[in-house]
Structure 1
């Protein structure tokens, strides 16, 4: 490029580049710099001064024309702070040491497949088009604190993005469109605490297959209009939605199916506005709040090792009752195991009993009746005290009846002495023979009562054996 064609402002940039000096154009009457001048500098038009490191360090510029560095290899760092780029920069496949566009305005940015040895700083930047980072590799951090991404259905396209450090989009970060992070890998943390994400009725975050080495943070008053998908995502430590607010999510607010994380914090500022899908997710520690549970959950195959401060069993059963899949044996057994591990055996049995009752509601009529009998008599094997109460009650009534109206001896000379409690027990318990039932015959209406005791005993024994066998089989 012929430097004779440079404007006075461009000459300042031209001379500063080989020395790596900072040029601040704020306050100058002419702030315009042609993109072709910047491109020429970055592609070697001005070699660095011996002993210095060339760099583009520009503040307050207005860059005219398209800045195209597609597939370029730039040995210098690029810094355009608080500037205006009138056309969308095309940096696809760029190889550069470091890139800073902090506080700058531009109609989008193409940085797909780029390789940045250091970090990328877009804090405070304003993009009115898509930020394309698909397939890019960033050797440091991606900083977008306070940035605003608007004007495109996909605000940030980070498909297959690789970031060696953190991705920071805090402190007023705003996105008016989808954050697409499917297949992305972030070795550090993804922090969106306090961010505002706007994509009503669609995915605010689409992170299928996303991998985060440390924390995925959507806490600190983050406001999300839209849904979040983290299906098949892997997060090294914590996924947090503490004090976040979600609205306009559509039928499914959170798709966390097959998510793997050390800890999941579901304590938003208000109840989640749609279903939360935790199907086959694997979580170390779950922290949630009954006040903000969604109306619908999908808990099919959901595995967790612990729940922070297990709630009273009635509240946790309400949680299971929100499962759209109805009765799932594994979900009840897993919760019961959690209570049992905490030495809360009574609550564990209550969970398993509630599961049997929910299962019964979906059975045919005959199954409902049979299940009801098992519930009333022995609590499906989880309420042994109920069985003892039934036995004691029937035995007491039988004793009173046969004491008031004694039966006659079948063979008077051979009959043993009559005892009303033993006779009632002989009728009631089919596995016991005390010699009373065979020696005496009820008289009058007490014969029908005796038949009742025999039938009750057989029914009680059958239901008890079935219920206890089921419990042993499932334990």
Structure 2
């Protein structure tokens, strides 16, 4: 007879299953073994007859210590059909609940329940579970169970582990697992977990990590497969080895004290994502160790890493990031303690030999990388636009190899590299922006100087990039190449000017090397002196050069002045003027300031006159080029002493 409080007596039991459960509580040695009602095949549980049915009220009575044993050790049951609603709301259970392979006719309620532990494994629960504010001393497990109409665990407190290995939860047009504010003391395992509907972990805490390896999250109606922003994971976070999400995985603001590993994870857009392309939200995450988006990782949409902080390395070797109409990776302002590896893995170390691949823009602007940015062997594709946006990035070293594939512009403006820059030949002048790029050294495998200079010749002239490269060569003791770089920079400047300025540039370069080779003036001077000496010796013999007091074209035709009568036997003319010396005469024409009196006494006529004018102009040009070149050199030294080349 049912008591006034609603409790059952043994005589009230209506099925063999209920009597087995009642008697098992009296048989102390058997309490540790499950009460076997029938084969645990819950998929067909709705058809189980009375002999396998147990009313939920009896289970509740035993759990509250009102059954045959007031101090039950555990309630373990296998292969039963639980009729009526199992409601344990606001109850304190006297023992753990362990149901295996059972079928539930109605919804289960654990709201505000306090229990030593709850295990519902390999069960079929067609009407869902309400477990808001449930509190367990040990674990809460739903492994292998199939649950429809969702599970709610708002503000639940799990003292042990939360186990949902191979659990399947379905909720059409809604949230399949709602666990905002959940706290799990010893970690959560969701390996091979399946959800058709949205999973929500907003603001939850996982004490020893969260493992969702090989989980499948699909059919979200609002575009979010996993809404888990502001998680606190006091261990490692795994979405790896076959993890798949159709819809955005939002981990914005999450803190992970261990490793963030998404190796082999697959993140795809769902049909509900109409207005956004983001599939993985990691903005402002804090990861104290390494983050892995590598080895068969796949994202079909934007991976958002805005202002993320990673204490170790960000490894993306073998990862594929595709968003051909937008940004593949948005990591502006990211801080990484060690390396960012957007490269090809080392096959010799047994790693996946496939390289990093991005189809869409990769944004690393204002990133701070303590180690290296390694893009060797990586593929970056964003044709007709920017493939890599690294404006303002700082790093210990930046590496591109000849195997790096770049289809699009690489923006390295204001990048600061405290160590080595290795650019290879993959960066062409038409696809790289270098204004403000600084670096301390160049990689050993970088191309020769000629190819380096081709790398600097972009669409616009930027003097800083030439001075930066020259300073590196100078710091390595190669002052000759440093000068050649600076000269190439000046040539690039004049190539961008109008043609009259270009002509002046050619003269400026040929005469004094834009001020970096002032000794070239002496070469030109010696060459002109030799040419002039020979030329004016020939012109004098034809009387096209004559003393100032004789005009060979106006004096009488029969008036003849033999050469000896003009020069004299002692090196002077008959009138006491200096004797004609073609070499001194040439030098007098070439030196604008110095007066050797040769050009004052000996007057050119006809062809000699034109030759003299040419030599005077050449002399003034050389002098002007020398003065301007030296002045430019001193001005450059004051503006940028790091590129002062003696």
Query: Do the aligned residues in 1 keep the contact of 2:411 with 2:433 (CA within 8 Å)?
Result: yes
Per-residue deviation at 1:333? Answer: 1.1
Question: Does 2:289 match 1:182?
Answer: no
Cα gap change, 1:34/1:416 in structure 2, threshold over 3 Å: closer, same or farther?
farther
Shift in CA distance, 34/127, structure 1 to aligned 2, threshold 3 Å: farther
1:14-413 equivalences under 5 Å are: 36=129, 39=131, 43-48=133-138, 54-65=160-171, 66-97=176-207, 98-107=209-218, 108-124=225-241, 125-152=243-270, 153-220=277-344, 221-267=355-401, 269-284=403-418, 285-291=420-426, 293=428, 295-309=430-444, 311-321=447-457, 323-324=458-459, 326-384=460-518, 386-406=520-540, 407-410=545-548, 412=573, 413=575
Cα separation, partners in 2 of 1:155 and 1:60, compared to 1, 3 Å: same
- Classify 1:236/1:34 alpha carbon distance in 2 versus 1 (closer, same or farther; 3 Å): farther
Larger radius of gyration: 2
**How far apart are 1:105 and its partner, in Å?**
0.9
Structure 2 residue 587 is the aligned partner of structure 1 residue 470: no
Distance between the aligned counterparts of 2:493 and 2:367, measured in 1? Answer: 32
Distance 1:460 1:10, change over 3 A: farther
Of 254-263 and 359-368, more deviation after overlay is shown by 359-368
CA contact (8 A) 2:214 2:239 kept: yes
Q: Aligned equivalents of 2:378 and 2:596: distance in 1?
A: 70
Q: Any idea what SS the aligned residue of 1:404 has?
A: helix
Q: Is the 8 A contact 2:453 2:485 kept in 1?
A: yes
Per-residue deviation, 1:212 = 0.9
Closer, same or farther: CA 145–392 of 1 in aligned 2, 3 Å? same
**CA distance in 2: counterparts of 1:77 and 1:330, whole angstroms:** 54
CA contact (8 A) 2:429 2:455 kept: no
* 3-state SS in 1 of match to 2:388: strand
Deviation at 1:250, TM superposition (A): 4.7
Instruction: Tell me if structure 2 keeps the 8 A contact 1:20–1:57.
Output: no
Once the 2 structures are TM-superposed, how far is the Cα of residue 299 of structure 1 from its aligned partner? 0.9
Paired with 2:611 and 2:260, the residues of 1 have a C-alpha distance of: 83
Is the 1:204–1:228 contact (alpha carbons within 8 Å) kept by the matching residues of 2?
Answer: yes
Q: What SS does the aligned partner of 2:169 have?
A: strand
Aligned residues of 2:167 and 2:192 also touching (Cα < 8 A): yes
Contact 1:183 1:208 in 2 (8 A): yes
Q: Name the structure, 1 or 2, with higher relative contact order (CA <8 Å, separation 6+).
A: 1
Partner SS state of residue 437, structure 1: helix
Structure 1, unaligned stretches of length 5 or more?
none
C-alpha distance in 2 between matches for 1:45 and 1:472: 78
Q: For residues 443 and 328 of structure 1, what CA distance do their matches in structure 2 show?
A: 50
Aligned match of 2:586: 424
**What residue is the counterpart of 2:623 in the other structure?**
461
Separation of aligned partners in 2, 1:403 and 1:110:
95
Distance 1:31 1:294, change over 3 A: farther
Aligned-pair distance for 1:248? 4.1
Question: What's the CA shift for 1:131?
Answer: 0.7
Q: Distance in 2 between matches of 1:149 and 1:294?
A: 35
Say if 2:622 is the partner of 1:436. Answer: no
For each residue in 1:21-63, what CA deviation from the matched residue of structure 2 results, as whole angstroms up to 9, or x when unmatched? 9x9x6xx6x57697636x46xx4443239xx962123422223
Contact 1:81–1:102 (CA under 8 A) maintained in structure 2: yes
Structure 1 contact 336–348 (Cα < 8 Å) conserved? yes
Cα distance per residue 1:120-177 (max 9 Å; x no partner): 1111211111110111122221111111111252110111111122111222111111
1:310-362 deviation line (CA, Å, top 9, x unaligned): 532211110001x34x1111111111112222222222222112211221123
Alpha carbons 2:235, 2:258 under 8 Å: kept: yes
Root-mean-square deviation (CA, aligned residues, Å) is 2.8
Displacement of 1:298 in angstroms is 1.1
Tell me how far 1:442 sits from its aligned partner. 2.7
Secondary structure of residue in 1 paired with 2:178:
coil
Give CA deviations for 1:199-246 in whole Å, capped at 9, x if unaligned. 113111001111111111111211211110001111110111111122
Distance 1:250 1:430, change over 3 A: closer
SS at match of 1:405: helix
Q: Secondary structure at the match of 1:226?
A: strand
Tell me: CA distance 1:35–1:160, structure 2 relative to 1, closer, same or farther (3 Å): farther
